[in-house]
Structure 1
Amino acid sequence: MSGPNDPTQIQIYTHNIRCDTNNRMDNEQPWSERKHGVIDLIQRMSMVLPTLVGLQEVKHNQVKDILNMLGPEWAYFGVGRDDGETKGEYSPILFKKSDWELLYGSTYWLSETPDRPSKGWDAALARIVTKGILRHKDSNKIVSFFNTHYDHRGKQAREKSSLEIMSLMNDDLGTSVLCGDFNSEPHHEAYKTLSKSLVETSQRCKERRGFEHTVTGFTLGKKESSIDFIWVPPNIPIILHEVIDNNCNGMLCSDHRPVRAIIEI
């Protein structure tokens, strides 16, 4: 067991897995086919280090599929954004029970009324941030982990969401980490707002691997962009940042690539 003052390496993994829908994009395979790649990536990427996983665009049936296939050693926290229970997309937090203990979990709506299901500002849809306070069992260190998915249309909603999350993070225990699909590129205000207080892991990592961009669609070769990020406080060492291949056995398992970062807490 490491001591309380020894640095502990952990991994943060974030992936927009694309919701289960009948309104599929060109070349998009159904979730029944894609899920195997999504789950295989989680399993493989979490084998080496204690890992906290944040997923986006996850419907209730997808939550069940993922937990069933990952197995009983995994647990999650999260709710559907439409009713605070099972309706609508989740932004769940997943973790191995052997590595982590969930001390507290909460969901906040990115709106003027964060304590109840609601749509904020100029957003097209209700949006949430999922918060989990977790204890790393080996080191006894605490991580306050936030996972979110910003609105795709509302510019003001994205900017306000950044401010709301920064406010939520101010009083947290341990090390605060934020990940998700921000629907914002680095030149957008929502990204710039977060960068005033946090560091995006690709910007100050000791090593960077993988692809440049996170959004591919289901047809490779078209214009790509980066809207999926991991954020940490400025004093946290970032050992590695990687954008991971979403091509799983010849099939794109999502229209987004996963992102992982190894940090020291």
Structure 2
Amino acid sequence: MKKIYLMLLPFLAAACSSQGGQQTAVQIDAPVNVMTFNVRYDNPNDSLNNWNYRKDRVANAIRFYDADIVGTQEVLHNQMEDLRQRLPGYESIGVGREDGKEVGEYSALWYRKDRFTEKESGWFWLSETPEVVGSKGWDGACERIATWAKLQDRLTGKELFVMNTHLDHVGVAARREGVKLLLDKIQELGGSHPVILTGDFNAEPESNVIRQVTDTTNPEHLTDARTVADLVYGPNWTFHDFGSIPYGHRERIDYIFVKNGLEVLKYGILAETEGDAYLSDHAPVLVSVK
């Protein structure tokens, strides 16, 4: 019996090794879930849609959908603090767009600390002087900011370049020049890394703004994740103004763009409610990439 046991040991070791290899392969192949989410700034005039009533729903949605990376827009400092308390497994990157510290809206990035290591990060303003704190660009109505990070996947050791922003809602030149600056900065900072760009672009897919982002004649172009996803779920709109806009007039103005070899497995617009209660005046967008 002892001899038989000794003879079996190599086979058992091989079997265990094979199973371990399969588990590692599954982990290495694990997709990355990316969300873009305009959470709506904390506006006292929003009545029952005010942030105080929504903050738990917003945090729970991020956690429920297992978002590994989240680009958020319109986040004021008190909202950042609320989300940090409710998302202890996430690290945040970003500053207020007015003073480069805590004043004004953040276009903050969030990432799961158990999945990624932050290698580099930063931010710049969408203006003629992107390094000048609080600078307003071109014909823009507001200061606009972009936040970026190089994140190393703990499972694969590979790095992703992620950027998040919110384009101006008024300035035509501000959106056009803002896109050009974003693409230039992605090329400069991201290089050959797989790239993810999230944000509220205040423009529909057929607009000149989005065509500028996805123009294949420009070597710096990106791809709208929805157009290349293996599976698409949900409506074709993201902005609903807490349900007040009729369905036929709602617009898709929130995007996730990809570049440099990322495969988009799933794309969804999460237009759900809890009864009459909304997550935000925008529906978040979620993609799964590999």
Under a length normalisation based on structure 1, what TM-score does the superposition of the two structures give?
A: 0.92
- Within the alignment, does 1:88 sit opposite 2:114 as a pair? no
Corresponding residue of 2:224 = 200
Corresponding residue of 1:186 = 205
Asked which structure has the greater RCO (Cα within 8 Å, sep 6+), the reply is 1
8 Å CA contact retained: 1:78, 1:130: yes
Corresponding residue of 2:236 = 212
Q: Distance in 1 between matches of 2:228 and 2:243?
A: 31
8 Å CA contact retained: 2:195, 2:260: no
- Within the alignment, does 1:224 sit opposite 2:237 as a pair? no
Corresponding residue of 2:129 = 113
Query: Could you tell me the percent identity over the aligned residues?
Result: 30
2:44 is matched with which residue: 22, 25, 38?
22
8 Å CA contact retained: 2:237, 2:250: yes
Point out where structure 2 has 5 or more consecutive residues left out of the alignment: 1-22, 216-220
Corresponding residue of 2:7 = none
Secondary structure in 1 matching 2:49: coil
1:169-219 CA distance string (max 9 Å, x none): 113152111010000111211111100211101111111011221011113
Q: Distance in 1 between matches of 2:200 and 2:267?
A: 16
Q: Distance in 2 between matches of 1:68 and 1:22?
A: 21
| Runs of at least 4 residues off by over 3 Å | none
Q: Distance in 2 between matches of 1:39 and 1:94?
A: 12
8 Å CA contact retained: 1:162, 1:190: yes
1:170 is matched with which residue: 166, 181, 187?
187
| Paired AA for residue 112 in structure 2 | K
Point out where structure 1 has 5 or more consecutive residues left out of the alignment: none
- Within the alignment, does 1:12 sit opposite 2:34 as a pair? yes
Q: Distance in 1 between matches of 2:49 and 2:240?
A: 14
Q: Distance in 1 between matches of 2:254 and 2:157?
A: 29
Structure showing the higher strand proportion among its residues: 1
Q: CA deviation at 1:235?
A: 3.3
Under a length normalisation based on structure 2, what TM-score does the superposition of the two structures give?
A: 0.84
Corresponding residue of 2:163 = 146
Q: CA deviation at 1:94?
A: 0.6
Q: CA RMSD in A?
A: 1.7
1:39-76 CA distance string (max 9 Å, x none): 11101011xxx6111000000000000010122x2210
8 Å CA contact retained: 1:74, 1:94: yes
Structure showing the higher helix proportion among its residues: 2
Corresponding residue of 1:261 = 287
- Within the alignment, does 1:35 sit opposite 2:55 as a pair? yes
1:221-241 CA distance string (max 9 Å, x none): 622110000000163211111
1:127-153 CA distance string (max 9 Å, x none): 011011111111111111000000000
The 3 A distance-change label for structure 1 pair 2 and 156 is: farther
Q: CA deviation at 1:105?
A: 1.2
Secondary structure in 2 matching 1:132: strand
Q: CA deviation at 1:112?
A: 0.3
| Paired AA for residue 274 in structure 2 | C
Q: How many pairs does the alignment contain?
A: 256
The 3 A distance-change label for structure 1 pair 221 and 86 is: closer
